[in-house]
């Protein structure tokens, strides 16, 4: 079940992110220390919405949306994480489908997201969902790494 995240979900969301298998944290393990601050800040920004995926009353995934993007009628998927044990079961796709529908409800015609060059698994996943690589941004994360911007037209 997917539902809007509540304040009491914040610690669960942070824990999911802290324990994720994201290649960025494997390359830069010291960056894990900043996860609580980053997630809390994003969670509390008024222009963002977070949704959690629950299974047997346990939060096993989440997605965060930003209700703006510097392109007309566009929103951004700012984060997506599914627990390691629950990956490759379709939960990420369900969360992405939900996020895209929510962006449509908000009146957006396009969805954008960033992912790192060091994350080919995510690049493949987004490609399978119809996202196209639009641009590359050197040192986007302040670590010298390249971020890829992906975009997709949503149904209207």
Distance, in Å, from the CA atom of 10 to the CA atom of 5, rounded to the nearest integer, reads 8
Number of structural domains, the chain? 1
- Which pTM value belongs to this model? 0.94
Looking at residue 26, its pLDDT comes to: 83
Instruction: Retrieve residue 56's tokens.
Output: 């047997």
Looking at residue 124, its pLDDT comes to: 97
Q: Nearest to residue 45, comparing CAs of 24, 29, 66?
A: 66
Distance, in Å, from the CA atom of 111 to the CA atom of 109, rounded to the nearest integer, reads 7
The CATH number that applies at residue 25 is 3.40.630.30
36-83 per-position pLDDT tens digit: 999 999 999 999 999 999 999 999 999 999 999 999 999 999 999 999
Q: What is the mean pLDDT of the chain?
A: 94
Domain around 11: 2-153
């Amino acid at each position: 079940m997917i539902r809007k995240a509540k304040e009491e979900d914040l610690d669960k969301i942070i824990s999911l992110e802290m324990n994720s298998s994201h290649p960025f944290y494997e390359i830069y393990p010291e960056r894990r220390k900043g996860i609580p601050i980053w997630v809390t800040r994003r969670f509390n920004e008024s222009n963002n919405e977070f949704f959690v995926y629950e299974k047997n009353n346990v939060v096993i995934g989440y997605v965060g949306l930003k209700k703006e993007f510097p392109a007309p009628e566009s929103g951004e998927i700012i984060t997506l994480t599914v627990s390691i044990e629950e990956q490759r079961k379709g939960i990420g796709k369900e969360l992405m489908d939900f996020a895209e529908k929510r962006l449509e409800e908000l009146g957006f015609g396009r969805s954008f997201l960033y992912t790192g060059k060091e994350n080919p698994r995510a690049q493949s996943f987004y490609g399978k969902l119809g996202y196209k690589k639009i641009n590359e941004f050197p040192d986007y994360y302040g670590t010298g790494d390249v971020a890829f911007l992906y975009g997709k037209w949503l149904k209207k």
